[in-house]
C-alpha cells in the first residue's frame, strides 16, 4: 500500500456572478487525479503554469477544500477528517513553498519560525531543548547555529529556502510536498537545494511529491514522474523512462524545451500552437486536442482514459501504442 494514495481528486472553484449580473461558472483546477506515493519514494509532478499542480499539492494538505475524491494517508482518508481530527496528522506531512521569502514571517527570527511547530505539537519540553533542536535542524540543512537569531530579510534566497526545509523537517514528517522549491533561485543555488533534498530524503526515508515545470530536475531527483495538463494526468511512469521515451504529445513537447548541455546534440523543438484552454471552459474530448500536432477526429469527442501500458507506464492518449 502506498503511503499516500490519491483517488479521483477533484478541486473545483465556483465563480460568483459579476457585478453586471454575468453568469458565474466552475473552475476545474483539478479534475480527477489518481496518484500514489510510496514510503521513501520521490515522485515528480510536472506541467505548465496553471495546470493544477500547486492546487493538487495544497489539496493533499487540506489547504484548499476538495470537491470530491479521497486522500488516503497511511490508509486514513484525510478528506473527511474535521480540523480537530486532522491536527495530529499534520505532523506527518509538510510543505515547502515556492517563494522562500513570503513563506516566512518577517517579524519572527529564524529560530522562532522553526520552533513554532515544535511548540504547537509539543515536541520539546522547554527552552533549552527547543534551542538545541533548532540548532540541529539548521545544521542539518547547511546553516549555522547562530543563524537562529537572525531575521529572514538577512538571508539570500537559497538560505531562506534552506530555512523553509528546516521548518518542514522540524516535526519529523513522513511526506513533504515540495511546491517548485527551486524555481525562484539561481541555477547554481538550485543544484545545491536539490542535492540537499536528495540527501535528506535518503537519510531520513522521506517521501517527496516534487512539483516542478522542469522535467530535467525531476529526472535527477525522482524515481517516478506524473505529467499534468489542464487538471488531469496525461502520462505517468519511471522518470528516466518517460524522459527518454515520452508517449504523450504534451510530454514530448515539454521535453523538447529542456536545454541540452552538449552543443553537438540537437533536439527537435516542438512548438505548441495556441494557449492553454481555460479550466473554466475546458474543451470536449481530450483536453490537449486544441494544441496537439497529431489530433484526430476521435480526440475531439472522446476523453482518453489513463491506460496502463505495463512496466509502470500510464498514458491518456488515443494514439499511444
How buried is 308 (Cβ within 10 angstroms: 0-12 exposed, 13-18 middle, 19+ buried)?
exposed
Contact 236/35 with Cβ under 8 angstroms? yes
Q: Minimal CA–CA distance to 97: which of 180, 22, 173?
A: 180
User: With the C-alpha atoms ordered 141, 147, 151, 153, is the resulting torsion angle positive or negative?
Assistant: negative
Q: How far apart are CA 273 and CA 315, in angstroms?
A: 22
pLDDT at residue 264, rounded to an integer? 64
pLDDT at residue 316, rounded to an integer? 95
> Looking up cell 483536453, which residue turns up?
287
4-315 folds as: Rossmann fold (3.40.50)
| pLDDT tens digits, one per residue of 81-107 | 999 999 989 999 999 998 888 889 999
pLDDT at residue 262, rounded to an integer? 64
Contact 318/302 with Cβ under 8 angstroms? yes
pTM: 0.91
pLDDT at residue 230, rounded to an integer? 93
- What grid cell was written down for 94? 509538510
pLDDT at residue 22, rounded to an integer? 58
Contact 118/170 with Cβ under 8 angstroms? yes
Q: How far apart are CA 162 and CA 139, in angstroms?
A: 10
| pLDDT tens digits, one per residue of 224-236 | 999 999 999 999 9
pLDDT at residue 207, rounded to an integer? 96
What single string gives the DSSP state of each residue in 155-199? S-HHHHHHHHHHHHHTT--SEEEEESTTTTS-HHHHHHHHHHHHH
Q: How far apart are CA 146 and CA 135, in angstroms?
A: 8
pLDDT at residue 263, rounded to an integer? 63
Radius of gyration of the chain from its Cα atoms, rounded to whole angstroms = 21
pLDDT at residue 77, rounded to an integer? 96
Q: Minimal CA–CA distance to 230: which of 19, 13, 48?
A: 48
pLDDT at residue 18, rounded to an integer? 59
Spacing of C-alpha 144 from chain mean position: 28
Q: How far apart are CA 57 and CA 32, in angstroms?
A: 14
Spacing of C-alpha 190 from chain mean position: 16
Q: How far apart are CA 12 and CA 25, in angstroms?
A: 10
φ, ψ of residue 161 to 5 degrees: the values are: -70, -35
Which residues of the chain carry a pLDDT beneath 70?
1, 17-24, 260-267
CA distance between the termini of the chain: 29
Q: How far apart are CA 273 and CA 286, in angstroms?
A: 16
SS percent in the chain: helix, strand, coil, step 5:
35, 25, 45
Amino acid at each position: 500500500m502506498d503511503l499516500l494514495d490519491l483517488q479521483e481528486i477533484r478541486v473545483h472553484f465556483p465563480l460568483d456572478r459579476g457585478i453586471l449580473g454575468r453568469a458565474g461558472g466552475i473552475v476545474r483546477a483539478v479534475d480527477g487525479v489518481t496518484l500514489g506515493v510510496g514510503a521513501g519514494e520521490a515522485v515528480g509532478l510536472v506541467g505548465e503554469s496553471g495546470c493544477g499542480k500547486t492546487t493538487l499539492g495544497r489539496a493533499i494538505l487540506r489547504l484548499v477544500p476538495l470537491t470530491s475524491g479521497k486522500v488516503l494517508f497511511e490508509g486514513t482518508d484525510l478528506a473527511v477528517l474535521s480540523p480537530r481530527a486532522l491536527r495530529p496528522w499534520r505532523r506527518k506531512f509538510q510543505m515547502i513553498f515556492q517563494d522562500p521569502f513570503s513563506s516566512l514571517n518577517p517579524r519572527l527570527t529564524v529560530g522562532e519560525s522553526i520552533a513554532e511547530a515544535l511548540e504547537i505539537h509539543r515536541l520539546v519540553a522547554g527552552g533549552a531543548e527547543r534551542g538545541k533542536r533548532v540548532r540541529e535542524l539548521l545544521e542539518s540543512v547547511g546553516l549555522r547555529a547562530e543563524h537562529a537569531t537572525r531575521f529572514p530579510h538577512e538571508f539570500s534566497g537559497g538560505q531562506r529556502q534552506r530555512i523553509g526545509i528546516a521548518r518542514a523537517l522540524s516535526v519529523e514528517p513522513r511526506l513533504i510536498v515540495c511546491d517548485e522549491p527551486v524555481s525562484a533561485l539561481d541555477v547554481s543555488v538550485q543544484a545545491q537545494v536539490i542535492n540537499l533534498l536528495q540527501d535528506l530524503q535518503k537519510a531520513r526515508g522521506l517521501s517527496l511529491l516534487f512539483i516542478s515545470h522542469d522535467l530535467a530536475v525531476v529526472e535527477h531527483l525522482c524515481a517516478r514522474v506524473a505529467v499534468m495538463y489542464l487538471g488531469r494526468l496525461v502520462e505517468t511512469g519511471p522518470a528516466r523512462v518517460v524522459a527518454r521515451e515520452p508517449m504523450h504529445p504534451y510530454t514530448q513537447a515539454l521535453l523538447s524545451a529542456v536545454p541540452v548541455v552538449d552543443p553537438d546534440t540537437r533536439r527537435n523543438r516542438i512548438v505548441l500552437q495556441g494557449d492553454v484552454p481555460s479550466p473554466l471552459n475546458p474543451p470536449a474530448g481530450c483536453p490537449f486536442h486544441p494544441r496537439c500536432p497529431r489530433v484526430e477526429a476521435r480526440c475531439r469527442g472522446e476523453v482518453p482514459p489513463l491506460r496502463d501500458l505495463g512496466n509502470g507506464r500510464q498514458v491518456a492518449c488515443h494514439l499511444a501504442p
